[in-house]
Structure 1
Amino acid sequence: MSDATAPGQAPENSDFHRLAHFPITFFAIVMGLMGLVLALHSAQEVLPWVEPLVNIALFFGIAVFVLIAIFYVAKILHHPGAVVWEWNHPVRLAFFPAMSISLLLMSVACYASFPQAAHALWVVATIAQGILTVSVLSGWISHRSFEVGHLTPAWFIPAVGNIIVPVAGVRLGYPEISWLFFSGGLVLWIVLLTLVMNRLVFHNPIPARLFPTLLILIAPPAVGFISYIQLVGTLDPFGHVLMNTTYVFAALILVQVPKLLKLPFALSWWALSFPVAALTIASFLYARLTGSGAYEVIGLIGLFTLVVIIAGLILRTVLAIARNEICQPE
Structure 2
Amino acid sequence: MTTAISASGHEAEPRLSHFPVSFFSMVMGLAGLSIAFEKAGSTIPSLQAVGHTVLALAGGLFVVLALIYGAKMLLHPQAVRDEFAHPVRLHFVPTIAISLILLSIASLELSRDLAAGLLLVGAPLQLALTLLVLDRWINREHFQTPHLNPAWFIPIVGNMLVPIAAVSLGYREASWLFFSVGIVFWLPLFAVVLNRIVFHQPLPDRLRPTLFILIAPPAVGCLAYLKLAGGIDAFARILYFFGLFLTVLLLTQLPRLRRIAFYLSWWAYSFPLAAITVASFAMAEQTGFAGYRQIGFVLLTLTSLLVTGLLLRTGIAVARHQICQPE
Q: Which TM-score applies when normalising by structure 1? A: 0.95
CA shift, 1:288, in A, is 1.7
Distance in 1, matches of 2:121 and 2:81, equals 23
1:23 matched residue in structure 2: 20
- Kindly provide the amino acid, as one letter, of the partner of residue 81 in structure 2: V
Distance in 2, matches of 1:233 and 1:143, equals 40
CA shift, 1:180, in A, is 0.4
2:54 matched residue in structure 1: 57
Q: Deviations over 1:98-119 (max 9, x none)?
A: 0000000011111111110111
- 2:177 partner SS: helix
Q: Deviations over 1:142-166 (max 9, x none)?
A: 1323111101100000111000000
Distance in 2, matches of 1:28 and 1:51, equals 23
Which runs of no fewer than 5 residues in structure 1 stay unpaired?
1-12
2:153 matched residue in structure 1: 156
Distance in 2, matches of 1:50 and 1:234, equals 25
Distance in 1, matches of 2:305 and 2:51, equals 16
Distance in 2, matches of 1:104 and 1:142, equals 28
CA shift, 1:15, in A, is 5.4
Instruction: Give yes or no for the alignment of 1:111 onto 2:88.
Output: no
Instruction: Give yes or no for the alignment of 1:85 onto 2:82.
Output: yes
RMSD: 1.1
2:72 matched residue in structure 1: 75
- 2:231 partner SS: coil
2:3 matched residue in structure 1: none
Distance in 1, matches of 2:86 and 2:11, equals 20
Distance in 2, matches of 1:143 and 1:297, equals 46
Q: Deviations over 1:10-32 (max 9, x none)?
A: xxx96521000000000000000
Instruction: Give yes or no for the alignment of 1:257 onto 2:257.
Output: no
Q: Deviations over 1:209-257 (max 9, x none)?
A: 1100000000000000000000011111111110111012112202211
Distance in 1, matches of 2:152 and 2:310, equals 22
Distance in 2, matches of 1:53 and 1:184, equals 34
Q: Which TM-score applies when normalising by structure 2? A: 0.95
- Kindly provide the amino acid, as one letter, of the partner of residue 188 in structure 2: V
- Kindly provide the amino acid, as one letter, of the partner of residue 266 in structure 1: Y
Q: Percent identity?
A: 47
- 2:262 partner SS: coil
Distance in 2, matches of 1:319 and 1:135, equals 34
Q: How does 1:93-242 map to 2 (within 5 A)?
A: 93-242=90-239
Distance in 2, matches of 1:26 and 1:145, equals 25
Q: Deviations over 1:193-224 (max 9, x none)?
A: 01100001100001011100000000000000
- Kindly provide the amino acid, as one letter, of the partner of residue 81 in structure 1: Q
- 1:171 partner SS: coil
- 1:205 partner SS: coil
- 1:145 partner SS: coil
- 1:52 partner SS: helix
Distance in 2, matches of 1:194 and 1:88, equals 24
1:3 matched residue in structure 2: none
CA shift, 1:50, in A, is 1.0
1:7 matched residue in structure 2: none
CA shift, 1:185, in A, is 0.6
1:268 matched residue in structure 2: 265
Distance in 2, matches of 1:191 and 1:322, equals 41
Q: Which runs of 4+ in 1 moved over 3 A?
A: none
Counting matched residue pairs gives: 318
Q: Deviations over 1:274-295 (max 9, x none)?
A: 0000010000111121221111
- Kindly provide the amino acid, as one letter, of the partner of residue 244 in structure 1: F
CA shift, 1:58, in A, is 1.1
Distance in 2, matches of 1:271 and 1:313, equals 10
2:276 matched residue in structure 1: 279
1:245 matched residue in structure 2: 242
Instruction: Give yes or no for the alignment of 1:41 onto 2:29.
Output: no
1:293 matched residue in structure 2: 290
